[in-house]
Structure 1
Amino acid sequence: MTAAALAAALLAAACAREAPKAAPLRPVLTERVGVAAAAAAPTYAGEVRSRVEQALAFRIAGKISERLVDAGATVRAGQVLARLDPVDAALAADAAEAQRRLADADLRRFRELREKNFVSQAALDSRETTLKASAAQAELARNQSAYTVLRADQDGVVGQVLAEVGQVVAAGQPVFRVARLDVPEVAIAIPEGRLPEVRQAKQAEVTLWADAARSYPAKLREVAAVADPATRTYAARVALLEADAAVALGMSASVRFSAGTAAERLTIPQAALFQKDGKPAVWLVGDDATVALRAVEVARYTDGRVELAGGLARGERIVVAGVHKLAAGERIRVAERGAGTAVADLAAAK
């Protein structure tokens, strides 16, 4: 075979071979900052309560003989709610009054005897002191006799009935719990990680579970100084500024605070963070589908997400999964979070 024939054979063999296929691009899950990762103000579940809730009790011990209101009843200031058996208190008042009268008569006799110089001035002073003590005791017994009637101190609604007719109660033992209706608020629990931003919030919005389409303006009124030892949350009260008849005590409610400085920060999934030289960074996806590291500044970590203080702008696309398998300048196939093919593409890439 001549050289020309050998060259022709080699050329024909080379042409017969197939051109090598390009390596498929790696599908990577991405997300646009500020679209799917925009910060959302958290919602706190709570219960509608009254700012003023009183536990009413008798000031003396006794047996309840009459209960005049039930739970849910609307009461007025001064209205009689319950009575104790008055017999013992009346007998004590009568006995104290009898002692006062005896001391008064005794004092008059000693004054006559003193005028005749039959008794000393010290003996007369003693009888005067006895009369004052007896009068005070009689007045105290009369007051205690009046304490057998329990009255409402203010307008409100009876939230709970804690004792029944026939029950013997001690002095100060709660019998009713009465709440005012004109100062409703929502009791919530704030996680310790959210406490700073809640304190900075100027306004809040309350939504009732019974009517989610309507919201009520509100504001944070108070926050407990110490966290609950079991839940590690801070009890807080949010006052309703424009409540109406639809707001009833005990209703379930949701509270959302207005966006403050911390809530306006962009957030990204924690899985999107990549460490470069010990500092946080993310893989930024360019217009040509290549990735490049971008340093970011982390404000704080939340449940599954990270709040950023800087480094990214709203609308930029970042990689949110598989960040440790990428290299700078690598070209990828973008898989949008939430797309139906994203999971299948990622599974095939593995």
Structure 2
Amino acid sequence: MFRHVLPLAIPAVLGLLLTACGSEEPTASAARPVLVVQPVPAGALVDTFPGEVRARFEPELGFRIGGKMSKRLVEVGERVRKDQPLAELDPQDVRLQLEAMRAQVTAAEANLKLVRAERDRYKTLLARQLVSQSQYDNAENLYRAGEARLKQVRAEYNVASNQAGYAVLRAPQNGVIASRRGEVGQVLAAGQTVFVLAADGEREVLISLPEQSYERYRIGQQVEVELWSQPGRRYPGVIREMAPSADSQSRTFAARVSFVDTKVPAEPGQSARVHVQHDGEVPLSVPLSALSADNDQPYVWVVRGSESRLQRVSVVIGPYHEERAAILNGLHGDDWVVVGGVHLLREGLRVRPVDRDNRPVDLAGKE
């Protein structure tokens, strides 16, 4: 008989248990744990730009005359001295031009000797009244023309002589060859760049500023420079120059950062990083994981009230960084912002805030 009663008793017991469970408070009302942090002051935000150490002065070197390059005497990266030959043009054309001008000088000297003698003869004849005054004046004019012609061809000869010297490209000062843009056999125009010289002296760092944040930087702004060869050590610097127009391909603005200390051990071509603080213009920042958006309106979840309930707060976002985003408006320094699982939250939800060490955050003392 017990075996017949047991199947009937089990459903009744289960029903009583379900009824008892239904009379308790739903588990959904329990506070959900959420990870919260407070916004970081703007002083902790720093923009970092990769850069390359360059010389303060980088003249582009080219021949003053056109011609075919016959010799290249230096390589990229080679240190050169002032007046050291760097390259040579084929001298045949300038040599022929110099010879032609020398011949013209000889002809002009011979002509001047002839017209001088003719002038002196007419002068003697005029004194004896054997020729007219007009005949003498004509001889005098021929002499003056011959004299002027000699001055002209001598000047042209000097120019040709200088051009013969221009066939050799020399370094204007001590430095390092930064780049080469010409090769042996290439026909060059006058002034066409053959080498770029990194002159000895001051060193700078060339960086590229993004278009969307270009207005935040200014000439004279204080920065810090870190060389890859000296990690962890930062040198003070200032933004010395900013390009007025963006690069047509990268759409970034070139900027040059000079070292405050001119004796920094930096050489052209070294890699560097430039760190720029915002001088307090961005008041606060939060982790990127705290941000959400609805209809292009960004917002964050803030835990407020003695019951630790969520409030949706619209914010104005500034520049983004690798792990954080700047908040221009909407938050206070003592707010606690949810940074995990924000897509699962809703307005007014009761939560249990904890910090990154899983310790409870007491908000009651902040009301």
Task: State the shift of 1:75 in Å.
Answer: 1.9
Q: Is the 8 A contact 1:48 1:249 kept in 2?
A: yes
Unaligned runs of 5+ in 2: 1-15, 123-134, 359-367
CA distance in 2, matches of 1:43, 1:302: 12
The TM-score normalised by the length of structure 1 is 0.77
Superposed, 1:180-329 pairs within 5 Å as: 180-199=199-218, 202-242=221-261, 244=263, 246-267=265-286, 269=288, 272=291, 282-286=300-304, 288=306, 290-293=308-311, 298=316, 300=318, 302=320, 306-320=325-339, 321-322=341-342, 325-328=345-348
Deviations along 1:313-338, whole A, 9 cap, x unmatched? Answer: 3342123443684233x311336569
Aligned-residue identity in percent: 34
CA distance in 1, matches of 2:38, 2:172: 57
Match of 1:20 among 17, 21, 24: 24
Deviations along 1:276-315, whole A, 9 cap, x unmatched? Answer: 9x98764321374522537566263536865333443334
Deviations along 1:245-298, whole A, 9 cap, x unmatched? Answer: 74221112111013412245334548545779x987643213745225375662
CA distance in 2, matches of 1:274, 1:249: 45
Structure number with higher helix proportion: 2
Greater C-alpha radius of gyration: 2
CA distance in 2, matches of 1:28, 1:238: 48
The TM-score normalised by the length of structure 2 is 0.74
CA distance in 2, matches of 1:194, 1:239: 21
Q: Is the 8 A contact 1:160 1:177 kept in 2?
A: yes
Aligned residues: 324
Task: State the shift of 1:179 in Å.
Answer: 0.6
Give the stretch that moved more between structures: 139-148 or 167-176. Answer: 167-176
Deviations along 1:65-109, whole A, 9 cap, x unmatched? Answer: 444333222222222223334343233212212211211221232
Deviations along 1:101-144, whole A, 9 cap, x unmatched? Answer: 21122123213323404644443443333223212211111111
CA distance in 1, matches of 2:42, 2:97: 75
Unaligned runs of 5+ in 1: 1-12, 340-350
Task: State the shift of 1:159 in Å.
Answer: 1.8
AA of the residue aligned to 2:248: P
RMSD (Å), alpha carbons: 3.5
CA distance in 2, matches of 1:248, 1:138: 44
Secondary structure of the 2:218 match is: helix
Superposed, 1:94-105 pairs within 5 Å as: 94-105=99-110
Secondary structure of the 1:127 match is: helix
Secondary structure of the 2:110 match is: helix
CA distance in 1, matches of 2:197, 2:119: 58
Task: State the shift of 1:241 in Å.
Answer: 2.3
Give the stretch that moved more between structures: 45-54 or 240-249. Answer: 240-249
- Give the structure 2 partner of residue 113 of structure 1: 118
CA distance in 1, matches of 2:301, 2:264: 53
Q: Is the 8 A contact 2:72 2:184 kept in 1?
A: yes
AA of the residue aligned to 1:138: Y
Q: Is the 8 A contact 2:81 2:171 kept in 1?
A: yes
Deviations along 1:187-240, whole A, 9 cap, x unmatched? Answer: 111112222322287311111222212222111111111122333221111112
CA distance in 2, matches of 1:301, 1:324: 26
Going from structure 1 to structure 2, the CA distance change for 1:223 and 1:338 (only over 3 Å counts) comes to farther
AA of the residue aligned to 1:175: V
Q: Is the 8 A contact 1:266 1:314 kept in 2?
A: no
Secondary structure of the 2:284 match is: coil
Matched, 1:74 2:93: no
Task: State the shift of 1:167 in Å.
Answer: 4.9
CA distance in 2, matches of 1:81, 1:200: 36
